[in-house]
A = this chain, B = another copy of it.
Amino acid sequence: MSDLVTRLRRHNWRITPQRRVIAETLEGSHVHFTAEEILERACERMPELSRATVYNTLNEMVALGEILELTLEGRSKRYDPNADHEHHHLICEGCGLMKDVHTVADPVDWLPGDERHGFAVNRASITYRGLCPDCRAA
């Protein structure tokens, strides 16, 4: 059973077949899919699954804090099942390949007090960009 399903169950969330397929599709991959990609893959296992259910379910899982919504480039949001583990993203400017990465310390500490404009700053996400090994060689 998917670990994400276990976590969702703890929110008194009804685990329907549709939600299980969506959660397992998300968790079974190491790339961050768009909603359409999740729909496409989940439909291989459950062809009658509707687009609205995928969008609803993803939005609810984000609201529960169990997955992360990533707004990176491109027009579509991506979803990251790894919500409980602080990490950032490294994106190849050539081919779009994305990797999860970890920094040596919390980036919030690198924002001086006089740059905070009175905000209560509580988190930060970093998007690194560069060229992956294949695109460097090409």
A13 and B8 CA atoms in complex are apart in Å by 55
Contact A133 B118 (CB under 8 A): yes
Nearest B residue to A108 via CB reads B128
Contact A130 B125 (CB under 8 A): no
Contact B101 A111 (CB under 8 A): yes
CB distance from A138 to the nearest CB of B (A): 12
Q: Mark A103-138, 1 if CB is under 8 A from B, else 0.
A: 111011011100111111111111111111100100
CB distance from A106 to the nearest CB of B (A): 10
A107 and B117 in contact, given A71-B71, A124-B128, A129-B124 (Cβ under 8 angstroms): no
Contact B110 A105 (CB under 8 A): yes
Contact B132 A117 (CB under 8 A): yes
CB distance from A81 to the nearest CB of B (A): 19
Which residues of chain B are near A111, meaning CB under 8 Å? 90, 101, 103-104, 128
